Structure 1
Amino acid sequence: MVGGGGEQQQQEGALQRHVMALIVGHLRENNLNQAAIAVSNATMTPLHTEVPPNKLLDLVRKGLSGERDESAKMAVPLASLDKGGGGGGGTTLAGYGPVPIIPKTLLDFSAGNQGTPKSFAKHDSRHVSEHKNIARCARFSPDGRLVATGSADTSIKLFEVEKVRQMMMPDGIVHDSPIRPVIRTFYDHMQPINDLDFHPQMSILISGAKDHTIKFFDFAKSAARRAIRVIQDTHNVRSVAFHPCGDYLLAGTDHPIPHLYDVSTFQCYLSSSLQDSHVGGSINQVRYSANGGMYVTASKDGAVRIWDGLTSHCVRAITGAHGSAEATSAAFTKDQRYVLSCGKDSQVRLWDVGSGRLVKHYPGAQHPQMRCQAVFNHTEEFILCTDESQNEVVVWDTLTGDIVSRFPSNHVGAPRWLEHSPTESSFVTCGSDRSIRFWREAVKSSGNEHHSSSF
């Protein structure tokens, strides 16, 4: 008995020492050196113990996810999507499926490691639906099974990707009934939709709009057309993003500071260190890093800013990232080492998160007017963006910076938005011509749709 109790105490002591080392390491990573020294001295933890980057945040995130899973077992499950709901039918979509394992691409930009430009596969394009006004934005679900689009007509359409694939099958295949990929349509905003995001675990879609609201839609309920919850902001909501744990969300607005909301209480938090933020313009886009430890903003003043996900302090301001032109998009790589940005100076650039230095420049696409996005493909081997002057989709090899493909967008007028699937070789373009076009890697030539060229 005594031996067993002593062994348990030893295990608990070792666990406490490990936790303290993680805390000290986390404080040092975030340049909170005085706090790290205080904890180190108080707990007799070595100050320079090496721990994996963001390890503490990863463990906390997994723990919170486990708590939510336990709570979900005791909760009433969300209603599944019924047949006939919103024009779709026959498929149950309560929550998300497993996210496939995507091969990791090593983004090594050191001399001699960039190699020869890769070939971008040919893609088929298909018009899958249209709004009653300009299609302004799109977002895929975490598992890639769904994609939502938002419009100036204030509506949101939710598509089932598998049904889009069925629409794009080669000619000659007969279907038992018409395929309707739009499975939900939501109407609850008063002004145009600016951005969308899916909850990381639950069947909830949020939208940010010019009517100063963020709205929550439960797409598991087939009869739902209106929001189940509403956040009333004080400004035009330009961009929205869920924290990876789902408990918080960020809003980029006409206010120069990101608005952080607690999803449970709707309480709004702002950074208390405004003098360190170098603020200067409305926020066009906000996106979290993969583990939520950081978030990035692209602003109308041309700057890209990186913020601490815990303290909400601006830890790095890349002022003039796009000169005096607007920075229109910014997003982290999966390993959180780099940020990809796009601006109305017609430039696409990759930045090192740790130093803020420019790593790579991707020239050759003109986009001086629209709120354009530059995005990675699902493996991060390629970067995609649009060229307004030529009405084309442009593709670069991420490592070499070479253009490897450019092809007509098939829209009437240049696309306003491009969003790539997180799980496969497919993407969506939204146009001023109101249309939504779905692109997928070509399997067989259908003979009546454009294929992209590849070098």
Structure 2
Amino acid sequence: MDSSNSEQAVLDGKLYRHLNSLIVAHLRDNNLTQAASVVASATMTPLNVEAPPNRLLDLVSKGLAAEKGDVTRGTDFSASLPLPHTAAIDFSTAPDMKGSSKSFPKHETRHLSEHKNIARCARFSADGRFVATGSADTSIKLFEVSKIKQMLLPEAKDGPVRPVIRTYYDHIQPINDLDFHPQGTILISGAKDQTIKFFDISKTNAKRAYRVIQDTHNVRSVSFHPSGDFLLAGTDHAIPHLYDINTFQCYLSSNIPETSPSGAINQVRYSCTGAMYVTASKDGAIRLWDGITANCVRSITAAHGTAEATSAIFTKDQRFVLSSGKDSTVKLWEVGSGRLVRQYLGAIHTQLRCQAIFNQTEEFIIFIDELSNEIVIWDAMTTEKVAKWPSNHVGAPRWLEHSPVESAFISCGTDRSVRFWKETV
């Protein structure tokens, strides 16, 4: 072998070892421990190899985008994966209670619209351009965020700007949850009428769904897989329903947790890569599921004591899950171990099925105090309560949803109204 071939062989060997390390780290960090062990053994790679969170996904995303020649174009799943949260907060360390809490920026709020009955849910699109709300009046309102911002301009306060660009009427019972397709112009809704409906928001004259999934239970929560090819439905059934949106085939996990689920699912959410999903149930448990095999890999029973768990969402780096329950607590759990790492106290919440949310940088947590009708904000790292604001709703809001791209969020609730909150400059 000549020297050039020898040098290339050495380089190739280093590249293979590096790739194997990234694969092992990716599988391990996404709780696919058995697969990580098999690959580690086959490639003689240490199972505890170190790699930045989501490094493999980052490289695949950038490589596919470069191959296309345009990092912003295309709908390929891998190329459109969110880049790793470069400033991920390490919540695994002990809370720092030495007065290092950050100040939450002031926000201005504006009434946007009203439904004819309770506004039960809201959801932003992944790019933050749209937000939709669903109501007990069976309608869905679609807002364009750029038009909302026009309303906030001083010169537009009394102007003719109308942020509602579509109103959909196709359900016959209250709307429970909404989600946007990660790449397309599709909005889905889950409702008490046991259906999931698909709306094409690009069609200006469409008032009704163009596709319908008929479930067997009240559909309480919906979540698209990041590929857009699958969706999860949390229903009155204790096991999440997984749908292939091309065939409408429904799949149920064959791996039932040791502590068998016994309550309806209040919320189901995918992680940002689809490697996992999480459910929050009326039986009080938070459960983590493998996004590929649909096996339950961890049950956190009695996550909120004897009260039902109302919400559960992943952090952007997929290492933690934020949950809320009707025991007036918000909790942060470590995915890998299932241990409680943070608890946020001081907001009374015992009645409404609401969710605790992060702001877009995950530095703060936002929730509702039902008793005082206030919006409560904690420093996510220190757990210190840093702000309490009047909600400006008549009665406590039922739902909060934060924009994924900017410092803005939506509140809506029992007074039928929808409000937009935006950081003041």
Q: TM-score range with shorter-chain normalisation?
A: 0.7 to 0.9
Q: How far is 1:225 from its partner?
A: 1.0
- 1:320-331 equivalences under 5 Å are 320-331=302-313
Q: How far is 1:268 from its partner?
A: 1.5
Find the counterpart in structure 1 of residue 368 from structure 2: 386
Q: How far is 1:73 from its partner?
A: 8.7
Give CA deviations for 1:208-235 in whole Å, capped at 9, x if unaligned: 1111111111101111111111111111
**Distance in structure 2 (CA, Å) of the matches to 1:367 and 1:37:** 43
Kept in 2: contact 1:102–1:378 (CA 8 A): no
**Distance in structure 2 (CA, Å) of the matches to 1:247 and 1:217:** 16
Q: How far is 1:40 from its partner?
A: 5.3
Find the counterpart in structure 1 of residue 45 from structure 2: 46
Q: How far is 1:274 from its partner?
A: 0.8
Question: What amino acid does structure 2 have at the position aligned with 1:146?
Answer: F
Kept in 1: contact 2:147–2:163 (CA 8 A): yes
Question: What amino acid does structure 2 have at the position aligned with 1:415?
Answer: P
Find the counterpart in structure 2 of residue 130 from structure 1: 114
**Distance in structure 2 (CA, Å) of the matches to 1:59 and 1:235:** 41
**Distance in structure 2 (CA, Å) of the matches to 1:24 and 1:422:** 29
| TM-score, normalised by the number of residues in structure 2 | 0.87
CA separation of 1:122 and 1:308: change in aligned 2, threshold 3 A: same
Find the counterpart in structure 1 of residue 215 from structure 2: 233
**Distance in structure 2 (CA, Å) of the matches to 1:161 and 1:341:** 27
CA separation of 1:345 and 1:228: change in aligned 2, threshold 3 A: same
Kept in 2: contact 1:98–1:143 (CA 8 A): no
**Distance in structure 1 (CA, Å) of the matches to 2:59 and 2:251:** 24
Kept in 1: contact 2:101–2:379 (CA 8 A): yes
| TM-score, normalised by the number of residues in structure 1 | 0.81
CA separation of 1:247 and 1:115: change in aligned 2, threshold 3 A: farther
Find the counterpart in structure 2 of residue 254 from structure 1: 236
**Distance in structure 1 (CA, Å) of the matches to 2:74 and 2:55:** 30
Find the counterpart in structure 2 of residue 162 from structure 1: 146
Instruction: Classify the secondary structure of the residue corresponding to 1:428.
Output: strand
Task: Check if 1:360 corresponds to 2:337.
Answer: no
Give unmatched runs, 5+ long, in structure 1. 76-96, 444-455
Larger CA deviation: 301-310 vs 55-64: 55-64
Instruction: Classify the secondary structure of the residue corresponding to 2:154.
Output: coil
Question: What amino acid does structure 1 have at the position aligned with 2:228?
Answer: G
Kept in 2: contact 1:188–1:225 (CA 8 A): yes
Kept in 2: contact 1:218–1:228 (CA 8 A): yes
Computed over aligned residues only, the root mean square deviation of the Cα atoms, in angstroms, reads 3.4
- 1:107-256 equivalences under 5 Å are 107-108=90-91, 109-110=93-94, 112=96, 115-170=99-154, 175=159, 178-256=160-238
Kept in 1: contact 2:257–2:296 (CA 8 A): no
- 1:335-350 equivalences under 5 Å are 335-350=317-332
Larger CA deviation: 107-116 vs 216-225: 107-116
CA separation of 1:45 and 1:392: change in aligned 2, threshold 3 A: same
Kept in 2: contact 1:103–1:379 (CA 8 A): no
Q: How far is 1:129 from its partner?
A: 0.5
Instruction: Classify the secondary structure of the residue corresponding to 1:371.
Output: coil
Find the counterpart in structure 2 of residue 310 from structure 1: 292
**Distance in structure 2 (CA, Å) of the matches to 1:25 and 1:249:** 27
Q: How far is 1:380 from its partner?
A: 1.3
Find the counterpart in structure 2 of residue 449 from structure 1: none
Q: How far is 1:275 from its partner?
A: 3.9
| Aligned pairs, number | 417
CA separation of 1:47 and 1:116: change in aligned 2, threshold 3 A: closer
Find the counterpart in structure 1 of residue 87 from structure 2: 104
Instruction: Classify the secondary structure of the residue corresponding to 1:226.
Output: coil
Amino-acid identity (%): 63
CA separation of 1:32 and 1:243: change in aligned 2, threshold 3 A: closer
Instruction: Classify the secondary structure of the residue corresponding to 1:274.
Output: coil
Question: What amino acid does structure 2 have at the position aligned with 1:141?
Answer: S
